[in-house]
Amino acid sequence: MKMKVAILSHILFILPIFTLIFISSPVLAGEIDDLKKQIDKKAKAIQELKQKEGEYRLHAGHAHEQADTLEEVVTDFNQQIRDVESDIYSKQQEISATTLKIRQKELEILTHEATIERTKHYIAAALREIYENDGEQVSELIFKYEDFSEFFNQMEYRNLLQEELRAQLEEIRELKQQIEEEKQALRNQRDELEKLKYDLEARNTILDSQRDQKKNLLAQTRNTEWRYKELLKDTREKQAAMQREIFELEDKLRQSIDAASIPVPRSGVLGWPTEGLLTQGYGCTKFAKTSSAYPTCFHNGIDIGARYGTIVVVAHAGRVVAVQNAPYAYGKWIAVEHDNGLTTMYAHLSLQSVVVGQRVNGGEVIGYMGSTGYSTGSHLHFTVYTTNSFSTKPSKIAGTLPIGATINPFNYLP
């Protein structure tokens, strides 16, 4: 009878321990569930925004002539401003969702850490109870009980208890591993949050710039059509002069390309610098033949059209060698020198986010798509040069030009 009472007392002590070990705090559990609901709601909203952006991209970026009227230019500015405002709202939603995910992960880590501490405490208490009440050796137990069934009950109880303790220790080990993985995920989410905040700041800068440009245009033309016509005439004359200047400087260089100094044409040497629709290819394209934008009928790169403010990434790892502006040609542009004999150039940017001398990894954001310089709409002009021919040159008209022997980018793109 005493044996049964002893066993029962152990069971009554241990049972609540292993029942309560992995019960989370109701407050934390409730908050985590609430966060999950908020995250799901944000994720749905973000998905809807991305779907709308995707639908827009199907129709964005077609090649067209420069706007002929002030009304058309103002309409373009308003559309660009709306695009950037929409992107800002989308980024704000992503930041909010990421912040919620960080809080959820922090609470999950706290919950698991608290569970481990409770488990350690209860296991220690259980072991003390065992050692205090069951100090007898097996040889002693054999002669202690007249009924062998009581002896086997006691031995079975001890074995079961040891197995349960081992299981709890294994769960602690697994929880510790899970916590390390959650902490790494938390670090990744915090890094992502910083990137989103930087991107949001960049888009706010782009938005301010667009509003300023629209305001300056209206002030310059006094919101009258005839003044815009005069401004447009002067601008087009300078643009045509710069196009001829670029062609004359680069034409001879293209004829002297040393094939041994550059990679053999093959897919994947360079990556795509942005997403969007190809609106113009390389060389004397159909658009270049019919457009007044190309008096020499030669397009020295490719054009990719997409939403204003779309991110632009470097096509291959390298070093930034130029961050310049050519108002009547490339607008805001960046050049990156690579270790394979090629130099790439990214033009018509709304914002440049790197500096000369900076090392960049392939796929790293270096700027944002725009319509600066001689541009008929939001797009990226992407040019590939041989590095040994590339240089920068002050233009006779305005700004600084990238000059070099150009190569068809499709020789190296995926």
Q: At 49, list the tokens.
A: 């925004």
Torsion of CA 97, 98, 102, 103, to 10 degrees: -20
- The residue-averaged pLDDT of 180-200 equals 87
What is the band of 157 on the pLDDT scale with cuts at 50, 70, 90?
low
Task: Tell me the C-alpha distance between 218 and 70, whole Å.
Answer: 9
The 10s digit of each residue's pLDDT in 311-361 is 999 999 999 999 999 988 899 999 999 999 999 999 999 999 999 999 999
pLDDT, residue 141, reads 46
- 31 vs 321, higher pLDDT: 321
pLDDT, residue 19, reads 47
The 10s digit of each residue's pLDDT in 295-307 is 677 889 999 999 8
CB 35 within 8 A of CB 143: no
pLDDT at 270 over 60: yes
Task: Tell me the C-alpha distance between 369 and 312, whole Å.
Answer: 6
Please report where in the chains the tokens 């709890």 appear, as a residue: 168
CB 284 within 8 A of CB 251: no
Task: Calculate the average pLDDT of the chain.
Answer: 79
pLDDT, residue 138, reads 47
pLDDT, residue 315, reads 97
pLDDT, residue 16, reads 47
What is the band of 173 on the pLDDT scale with cuts at 50, 70, 90?
confident
The 10s digit of each residue's pLDDT in 117-154 is 887 777 777 667 666 555 555 445 444 545 545 544 55
End-to-end CA distance of the chain: 82
Q: pTM for the complete prediction?
A: 0.71
- The residue-averaged pLDDT of 236-243 equals 75
Find the helix packing angle between 70-133 and 2-20, rounded to 10°: 170
Largest CA distance in the chain: 117
- 115 vs 55, higher pLDDT: 115
pLDDT at 204 over 50: yes
pLDDT, residue 58, reads 46
Provide the 8-state DSSP code for 299: B
Start-end of H helices in 58-147: 70-133, 138-144
Q: At 354, list the tokens.
A: 């790197």
pLDDT, residue 56, reads 53
Task: Tell me the C-alpha distance between 335 and 322, whole Å.
Answer: 5
- Local structure of 195: helix, strand or coil: helix
Report residue 84: phi and psi, to 5°: -65, -40
CB 387 within 8 A of CB 341: yes
Task: Identify the CA nearest to 81 among candidates 222, 231, 227, 215.
Answer: 215
Radius of gyration of the chain (CA): 34
- 293 vs 247, higher pLDDT: 247
pLDDT, residue 73, reads 74
pLDDT at 412 over 90: yes
pLDDT, residue 9, reads 47
What percentage of the chain exceeds 90 in pLDDT? 28
- The residue-averaged pLDDT of 374-400 equals 91
DSSP string, 196-261: HHHHHHHHHHHHHHHHHHHHHHHHHHTT-HHHHHHHHHHHHHHHHHHHHHHHHHHHHHHTT--GGG
- The residue-averaged pLDDT of 272-293 equals 84
Task: Tell me the C-alpha distance between 257 and 381, whole Å.
Answer: 22
pLDDT at 57 over 80: no
Please tell me the least confidently modeled range out of 41-45, 46-50, 167-171. 46-50
- The residue-averaged pLDDT of 58-64 equals 48
In order of start, what are the domains of the chain with their CATH numbers?
Answer: 2-215 (no CATH), 225-411 (2.70.70.10)
Q: Is 104 exposed, middle or buried (0-12, 13-18, 19+ CB in 10 A)?
A: buried
| Cβ density class 320-349: b for 16+ within 10 Å, e for less | bbbbbbbbbbbbbbbbbbbebebbbbbbbb
